[in-house]
Amino acid sequence: MSHISVLLHETVDGVLAGRDTGIFIDATFGRGGHTQLLLSKLDANARVYAFDKDPQALEVAAQLEQEDSRFKIIHASFADIQAELSNIDITEVDGIMADLGVSSPQLDQAERGFSFMHDGPLDMRMDNSQGLTAAEWLLEIEEEKLANIIYQYGEERYSRRIARAIKQAGEITTTAQLAEIVKVAHPKWEKHKHPATRTFQAIRIAINKELDDIEVFLPQAVESVSYTHLTLPTKR
């Protein structure tokens, strides 16, 4: 399945704001759709730096680096944008774009462990080279804290029942196991929505520190842009 970039032309046109040169940042490279369109609209003197933690995204980016000398990928979270730019002697940029959230390729691949729709190892890490897997994290976290996370990040009204069922289950190694535990514990399902949807979302956000990283990233991004024109569409 091909990846379709969200708000592709709107985002790139917004971050360019009529310009065809400068230094630009794609804070979430993904599969490179936004970056490639941006490069196509820039002159030979422009530079584009992209950030990503996902090893598969880095592979795509490495190929683009070979094809276009104006582009460079940085293996880091966008929360580290100022430090990483400082390492390459950049203090200001002309525009930043970020497509926030999980990407469809991550959800589509069972081995990444993001989705209850595809059975696979319970991982959920965007950077699967470091940190705890979702399976390991669920073993370590206390029941009350897990319930609070499911309620806060998933807006799940039955978070306490679900957290109790997860902790009582002990070791959970696959997405199908977790989905079934949540399904059984959930007393009232939303029409046309799997009962594990909100719980999976909450766990993914928590182990990847997604909202924490955004909170750190935004003020850094604003400080880094010489002409403050920041475009931040969210994934749908």
Percent of the chain clearing pLDDT 90 (strictly above): 76
Confidence tier at 235 by pLDDT (50, 70, 90): very low
Would you say 124 and 204 are in contact if contact means Cβ atoms under 8 Å apart?
yes
Helix runs in 97-209, H state only: 104-108, 134-140, 143-154, 159-169, 175-185, 197-207
User: What's the predicted TM-score (pTM) here?
Assistant: 0.82
Q: Is residue 236 over pLDDT 50?
A: no
Per residue in 28-84, pLDDT tens?
A: 999 999 999 999 999 999 999 999 999 889 999 999 999 999 999 999 999 999 999
Per residue in 167-205, pLDDT tens?
A: 999 999 999 999 999 999 999 888 889 999 999 999 999
User: What was the pLDDT predicted at 118?
Assistant: 80
- Positive or negative, the CA dihedral 23, 25, 29, 78 is positive
Would you say 113 and 124 are in contact if contact means Cβ atoms under 8 Å apart?
yes
